Chains A and B, each alone.
Chain A
Amino acid sequence: MVDARLIETSDSAHAPACRQVALDLARRLPAALVAAKDLAASLMHGVHGRRRAGVGETFWQFRHFTSGEAAQTIDWRRSARGDGLFVREREWEAAHTLWLWMDLSPSMGFVSDLAREPKVDRALALGLAAADLLVRGGERVGLLGLSRALAARDIVDRLGEVLAVEASRDVERAELPPAVALGPRNRAILIGDFLIEPKLFAERLSTIAARGASGHMVMIADPVEETFPFAGHVELVDSDSPATLRLGRAESWRADYEQRLARHRADIFDVARAHGISVLVHRTDRPASEALIALRARLEEGGATGGRA
């Protein structure tokens, strides 16, 4: 019979090894650019050319100087070749802002014999790797409710430090993302096991997406949680609450459990999709790169579709 245990999730958040894993993971993929079709009209500098003049670095067009403009905008070299005065315009380049949230609740510390690593390790690796990918692509990434969005090159370390500080605080870590209303066209990346009441999840999502943010959701699951491979006399202990359940013959519970799990997931997914959040299920017995590739594809194509990786 399989064995399983719980580890302390804050240990993982502290561990620099986790950041290294994330970096290794991220550096295997090219930089990710969030799909530009619904770019936020923000003043933030970014790399998404907006096909119109604006703040940016790339040459866009020369236009005639209109009086009243500041004289320093005149491109004298171009103007010297003709009679009129010209102004050099650059293409407007803007950046996306993405907000990461990784579930650090005790249930994420679960790891079974069948899994490669605890769920929390996988979540941290995925989240930080995604951050690295995005920042390399020119986007700005922040931790939802914990930090502001940054485009620093050492984003993994910066976010990792924030996470470590957060993990060292002795508070009960919620299973839900913080109730922060994101700005319009911001995106959230939510990584966790989402073993929560769909109703609570819906409330929290509506708060987050209240101003028009969308996002992506990666549901991390241990293989044991999906297959329920127990047999015989087993006592199951909840990770977040003191609840226990003693099963005389665990094998007879499997079908029921699978059915209930499927229903729970359908509920959660429905809630997510309703708030414009794409859904991805990832099992910890699969390689992390699989999930990262799928997440990257979601980020680049946009849209809220369901899937499994």
Chain B
Amino acid sequence: MMGLPLAFAAPLALLGLLSLPVIWLLIRVTPPRPKRLPFPPLKIILDSERKDETPARTPWWLLALRLAVAAIVCLAFAGPIWNPPAASSGGAGPLLIVLDDGWAAAPTWESRAAFAISAAESAGRRGAPVAVLAVSEGAREITPTDSARAIDVLRAKQPQPIEPPRAAALQAIEAFAARNKDPRVLWLADGLEQGGARAFAERLAALFGSSLEIATDAHRPRGLAGPRNEAQGLIVRVVRAGAAPDGIVRALDLKGLTLAEAPFAFGASDETEAKIDLPVELRNEVARLDIRGERSAGAVALLDDRWKRRRVGIVSGASADVAQPLLAPNYYVSRALAPYADLRRTRPGATDPIGALLADGVDMLVVSDMAIPPGETHDKLQKFIENGGALVRFAGTRLAGAHDDLTPVRLRRTGRVLGGALSWEKPKKLAAFDEKSPFYGLRIPDDVTISRQVLAEPEPGLAARTWAQLADQTPLVTAEKRGKGLLVLFHITADTTWSNLPISGLFPDMLRKLTTLAGSSAAIAPEEQDVAASGEPRKIETLAPQRMLDGFGGFIAPPATARAISADFQGPASLDHPPGFYGPADSAVAVNALEPEAKLAAVDLAGISARRLEIDNARAIDLRAPLMAAAFLLLVVDALASLWLSGGLPRFAARKASAAILAFAVMAPAMFEDAPRFVVVAQAQQNPQAKPSTKPPTKRDMDAALSTRLAYVVTGDARVDETSRAGLVSLTQTLAQRTALTPGEPVGVDPARDELAFYPLIYWPVVAAQPQPSALARQKIAAYMKQGGTVVFDTRDALTARAGATTPEGEWLRKLLEGVDVPELEPTPRDHVITKTFYLIDHFVGRTANGQTWIEALPPEPANGEARPARSGDSVSPIVIVSNDLAAGWAGDRYGEPLYPLTPGGQRQREMALRGGVNLLMYTLTGNYKADQVHVRDLLNRLGH
């Protein structure tokens, strides 16, 4: 329609637009409802003559708004469709949608599926049944269904990580063509020739003729094939079909972290290489290569142990040559291999170096100049090679003089010396490598000369086993495949005595080639190695699928169709063996979607008599719903505007809007249940339940919190409790008389039951006969002391205590404090601040005067500091232990006379007892204040300056 991708399902409804002028006239002459206002002075003008009674017209913008609503409704009824599907023509015959669902279709899968769905929709609008066949499904029976079912099937389709085998699908399509009348076929081709696309297209054209439609898109797939872990880096082939753009290859480890990226550029060809330059350690970590931005399994190359750096063991027949490393036969081998391989050496003086290295799980064993006589070591090596290990041997005098069958060729007994005194020949140079040799392509430096070597016995097949030879065709490096493994012999020594090859640049390249050839299957655990060594044949293992690739190149759990592969699985991935990792996680085998040598080619559809469609990203959009929604919104706006014009809006807004806002505020958390704020609220509501301790305070607690008061622990012994109470009452009176503190009535507390936090000091007379308090009480006491409270334990045993013996009370107290974190105690020092807080006293006396008072030990006095009149710690001592029965000393009757006879006695002692009590309480309340007070004079002096 006029160049716009817009079509109408019911164009006749557009005639409704003709009614717009009528609507315009109607709306224009209908005035808006007048605004109704109270007006007290109305009487003043009620009687004035009516002047201009033509009411104000509908404002132009309201007019425009209403006309727009009418126009939109008309348009919506006409059923407009944006981007009408191209394939919506055709008859009522069944439509078969053939989907290429290989990896090549994955990058544009969404648009392909959308295209297929829109085709199914348009067929459904025509009433035609629709069938769906994904090529990977192969030969299954195709049954046309209604389009809604077909769309569901299409939505569920996912691309497969393989090349679609189209041949199998053809049978099903032929059956479909035979069964149905007037069938139509829409083939969504992925653009790759792989899987016989051209032949498939020709067959389809033959079957369906002009009712065949082939849809392709502009995307050209790219793929990764044949990654190689070479010396200069990780190299992977990048292939493409058609003019796909250049890009970037990423290297990821098993966890999916990007390790490196490397760009690639195709230039004119369809194939290029990307080189990922990484340190070898990191290169070993690479488990996956993919093309950035290309979401397909073909653009992923998985790497397993075969691409990893090899473990190489190095053994030498020479002994104790550590002192002169440059002369050691292993030196050059080690230097040459170190960058590429994980070197293992034996300790000097190991009893069985080869056995130890094999048990270490090496992939390649380099043995320089060592004879291997038949025996256990020989058998182990034999097994090692059979199982895929590589044995690289260097010749030498020891080898030359020994009989040894672990060589690829039979050796002549005597070595050959070139250019020596007894030779007429000059040192020989190397010949160019043969094409069949793995060393082919390596550049041979001119200055490499061989002066001495062991000679191979001429025998049939020698040439085939020769990997390198001298210019006169004498074999220099021979090799033989034994079992799964490899046996290589350098006919020279590993040091420079026989040739200068080990110090040439060629030597490391040759060794590296050998390293890459060494199979990974030799990485056998030591136990298995022993089993293998004992001669039992190893079973051929199958490897279960572990992590598979889906069509998009992402890792998934193995699908039900995935089957295990054999350990030596080769070849392309299939539906049975989808690409991915197989086997145990630590030694998984990778299967890739593309074979190492794979090439991609674009399908050539020239000459196929089919209608060609282009899959583009734009899918048909039914505009009815958006238009209706817009019309509805405009109607709401119109209603609000009318309300506003007639003056009802402010009042409506004032009352209803607040209600609406309130409703929204209430509902909003429910709408956004995941919102963190709501979670916080929920937690806040749950917290009270989580904390059962928030019970309402009791009256007793309220009283205790409102006035400072002394407390004593109710022991259960009525006499002691009465004494405590009377003593604390006396002390309370004394405090009220003499100090600024007026405590409330003392209370008895049960540490297990009552909240202790309100009391600055708790007096605890120890009664040995009473049972120990419960564990809960002990915990609460400990917590109370930690929070800064002070407990005064009174053992009341000053009279019975003897030096060196523990009284029952002392024992009881010791037991009580076992579960409590008690600080280090000391007898109250003379300069402790507790002796100076109110009165200057020497010690605490009660009913008796000879008991010791223990208190938290003070930090040691600074050695150089001058003596201070008072010392204190940073906090109040949580515990004071006295034995003088303080309460009985304090207790007095109404007239101030002591209730109990004191020992030794006298009015003075009671006075001192009360003074001690006052000091004690002042200490708990003021802490180290008095200790600081003594510096006041100094501080004032300083201020004066």
> Do A and B truly interact?
yes
Residues of chain A whose beta carbon lies under 8 Å from any beta carbon of chain B: 1, 3-6, 107, 110, 193, 195, 222, 224-225, 230, 232-241, 243, 245-249, 252-253, 256-257, 260-261, 264
B36 near A225 with CB under 8 A, answer no
Bound-complex Cα distance A193 to B33 (A)? 30
Which of B37, B44, B53 has a CB less than 8 Å from the CB of A4?
Answer: B37
Which residues B17-70 have CB closer than 8 A to chain A?
A: 31-46, 48, 51-56
Which of A195, A230, A260 has a CB less than 8 Å from the CB of B40?
Answer: A195
**Nearest-neighbor residue (CB-CB) of B650 within chain A:** A3
Bound-complex Cα distance A253 to B45 (A)? 9
**Nearest-neighbor residue (CB-CB) of B48 within chain A:** A256
A233 near B45 with CB under 8 A, answer no
B34 near A233 with CB under 8 A, answer yes
A248 near B53 with CB under 8 A, answer yes
B34 near A234 with CB under 8 A, answer yes
**Nearest-neighbor residue (CB-CB) of A256 within chain B:** B48
Interface size on B, residues (CB 8 A): 26
Bound-complex Cα distance A195 to B55 (A)? 28
Which residues B175-234 have CB closer than 8 A to chain A?
A: none
Query: Which 6 pairs from chain A and chain B are nearest by CB?
Result: A107-B40, A236-B39, A238-B42, A233-B34, A235-B34, A248-B55
Bound-complex Cα distance A307 to B52 (A)? 36
Bound-complex Cα distance A240 to B43 (A)? 10
Q: Smallest distance from the beta carbon of A138 to chain B beta carbons, Å?
A: 37
CB-defined A-B contacts under 8 Å, sample of 5: A233-B33, A233-B35, A243-B46, A249-B54, A260-B48
Find chain A residues with CB under 8 A from B55 CB.
Answer: 233, 248-249
Find chain A residues with CB under 8 A from B46 CB.
Answer: 238, 243, 245
Query: Given the known A-B contacts A195-B43, A195-B44, A243-B46, are A237 and B37 also in contact in the complex, defined by CB atoms under 8 Å?
Result: yes
Find chain B residues with CB under 8 A from A239 CB.
Answer: 38-40, 42
Find chain B residues with CB under 8 A from A233 CB.
Answer: 31-35, 55-56
Q: Smallest distance from the beta carbon of A248 to chain B beta carbons, Å?
A: 4
Residues of chain B whose beta carbon lies under 8 Å from any beta carbon of chain A: 31-46, 48, 51-56, 647, 650-651
B45 near A256 with CB under 8 A, answer yes
Bound-complex Cα distance A249 to B56 (A)? 6
B40 near A234 with CB under 8 A, answer no
Find chain A residues with CB under 8 A from B45 CB.
Answer: 245, 253, 256-257, 260
Bound-complex Cα distance A248 to B48 (A)? 14
Query: Given the known A-B contacts A252-B51, A260-B48, A261-B44, are A110 and B32 also in contact in the complex, defined by CB atoms under 8 Å?
Result: no
**Nearest-neighbor residue (CB-CB) of B39 within chain A:** A236
B44 near A238 with CB under 8 A, answer no
Q: Smallest distance from the beta carbon of A208 to chain B beta carbons, Å?
A: 23
Which of B31, B36, B40 has a CB less than 8 Å from the CB of A238?
Answer: B40
Find chain B residues with CB under 8 A from A225 CB.
Answer: 39-41
**Nearest-neighbor residue (CB-CB) of B646 within chain A:** A233
In addition to A3-B650, A195-B40, 5 A-B residue pairs with Cβ atoms within 8 Å of each other are A4-B38, A235-B37, A236-B42, A238-B40, A245-B45
Q: Smallest distance from the beta carbon of B121 to chain A beta carbons, Å?
A: 52
Interface centre among B42, B53, B647 (most CB of A within 10 A): B42
Find chain A residues with CB under 8 A from B44 CB.
Answer: 195, 257, 260-261, 264
A110 near B38 with CB under 8 A, answer yes
- State the majority secondary structure of interface residues on A: mixed
B52 near A238 with CB under 8 A, answer no
**Nearest-neighbor residue (CB-CB) of A249 within chain B:** B52
Q: Smallest distance from the beta carbon of A239 to chain B beta carbons, Å?
A: 5
Bound-complex Cα distance A136 to B56 (A)? 56
Bound-complex Cα distance A110 to B41 (A)? 10
Q: Smallest distance from the beta carbon of B479 to chain A beta carbons, Å?
A: 103
B35 near A235 with CB under 8 A, answer yes
Q: Smallest distance from the beta carbon of A257 to chain B beta carbons, Å?
A: 5
B42 near A245 with CB under 8 A, answer yes
Find chain A residues with CB under 8 A from B650 CB.
Answer: 3
Find chain B residues with CB under 8 A from A238 CB.
Answer: 38-40, 42-43, 46
Q: Smallest distance from the beta carbon of B6 to chain A beta carbons, Å?
A: 41
Q: Smallest distance from the beta carbon of A165 to chain B beta carbons, Å?
A: 25
B38 near A237 with CB under 8 A, answer yes
**Nearest-neighbor residue (CB-CB) of A263 within chain B:** B44
Find chain A residues with CB under 8 A from B36 CB.
Answer: 234-235, 237
Bound-complex Cα distance A238 to B34 (A)? 16
Find chain A residues with CB under 8 A from B647 CB.
Answer: 1, 3
Find chain B residues with CB under 8 A from A234 CB.
Answer: 34-37
**Nearest-neighbor residue (CB-CB) of A240 within chain B:** B40
**Nearest-neighbor residue (CB-CB) of A265 within chain B:** B44
Q: Smallest distance from the beta carbon of B235 to chain A beta carbons, Å?
A: 81
Find chain B residues with CB under 8 A from A224 CB.
Answer: 39
Bound-complex Cα distance A230 to B52 (A)? 15
A6 near B34 with CB under 8 A, answer no
Find chain B residues with CB under 8 A from A257 CB.
Answer: 41, 44-45
Find chain A residues with CB under 8 A from B38 CB.
Answer: 4-6, 110, 236-239
A246 near B42 with CB under 8 A, answer no
Q: Smallest distance from the beta carbon of A87 to chain B beta carbons, Å?
A: 61
Q: Smallest distance from the beta carbon of A303 to chain B beta carbons, Å?
A: 29
**Nearest-neighbor residue (CB-CB) of B40 within chain A:** A107
Find chain B residues with CB under 8 A from A248 CB.
Answer: 52-56
**Nearest-neighbor residue (CB-CB) of A112 within chain B:** B37
Find chain B residues with CB under 8 A from A107 CB.
Answer: 40
**Nearest-neighbor residue (CB-CB) of B57 within chain A:** A233
Q: Smallest distance from the beta carbon of A279 to chain B beta carbons, Å?
A: 17
Q: Smallest distance from the beta carbon of B155 to chain A beta carbons, Å?
A: 56
Which of A1, A4, A249, A256 has a CB less than 8 Å from the CB of B39?
Answer: A4
A232 near B37 with CB under 8 A, answer no
Q: Smallest distance from the beta carbon of B48 to chain A beta carbons, Å?
A: 6
Find chain A residues with CB under 8 A from B33 CB.
Answer: 233
Interface centre among A1, A247, A256 (most CB of B within 10 A): A247
B41 near A195 with CB under 8 A, answer yes
Bound-complex Cα distance A230 to B41 (A)? 14
Bound-complex Cα distance A307 to B12 (A)? 75
Q: Smallest distance from the beta carbon of B817 to chain A beta carbons, Å?
A: 66
Bound-complex Cα distance A1 to B40 (A)? 18
Bound-complex Cα distance A233 to B35 (A)? 6
Which of B31, B39, B53 has a CB less than 8 Å from the CB of A237?
Answer: B39
Find chain B residues with CB under 8 A from A232 CB.
Answer: 35, 56
Q: Smallest distance from the beta carbon of A1 to chain B beta carbons, Å?
A: 7
Q: Smallest distance from the beta carbon of A54 to chain B beta carbons, Å?
A: 48
Find chain A residues with CB under 8 A from B48 CB.
Answer: 253, 256, 260
Find chain B residues with CB under 8 A from A247 CB.
Answer: 34
Find chain B residues with CB under 8 A from A261 CB.
Answer: 41, 44
**Nearest-neighbor residue (CB-CB) of A237 within chain B:** B38
Find chain B residues with CB under 8 A from A235 CB.
Answer: 34-37
Find chain B residues with CB under 8 A from A195 CB.
Answer: 40-41, 43-44
A237 near B51 with CB under 8 A, answer no
A243 near B42 with CB under 8 A, answer yes
Find chain A residues with CB under 8 A from B39 CB.
Answer: 4, 110, 224-225, 236-239, 245
**Nearest-neighbor residue (CB-CB) of A2 within chain B:** B37
Find chain A residues with CB under 8 A from B32 CB.
Answer: 233
Bound-complex Cα distance A54 to B31 (A)? 76
Find chain B residues with CB under 8 A from A5 CB.
Answer: 38, 651
**Nearest-neighbor residue (CB-CB) of A234 within chain B:** B35
Find chain B residues with CB under 8 A from A193 CB.
Answer: 40
Q: Smallest distance from the beta carbon of A194 to chain B beta carbons, Å?
A: 10
Find chain A residues with CB under 8 A from B56 CB.
Answer: 232-233, 248-249
B35 near A110 with CB under 8 A, answer no
**Nearest-neighbor residue (CB-CB) of A225 within chain B:** B41
Bound-complex Cα distance A4 to B45 (A)? 18
Bound-complex Cα distance A1 to B45 (A)? 20
Bound-complex Cα distance A241 to B38 (A)? 11
Find chain B residues with CB under 8 A from A256 CB.
Answer: 45, 48, 51
Find chain A residues with CB under 8 A from B35 CB.
Answer: 1, 232-235
Interface centre among A107, A110, A233, A264 (most CB of B within 10 A): A233
Bound-complex Cα distance A225 to B34 (A)? 19
Q: Smallest distance from the beta carbon of B63 to chain A beta carbons, Å?
A: 15
Q: Smallest distance from the beta carbon of B774 to chain A beta carbons, Å?
A: 60
Which of A230, A241, A260 has a CB less than 8 Å from the CB of B37?
Answer: A230
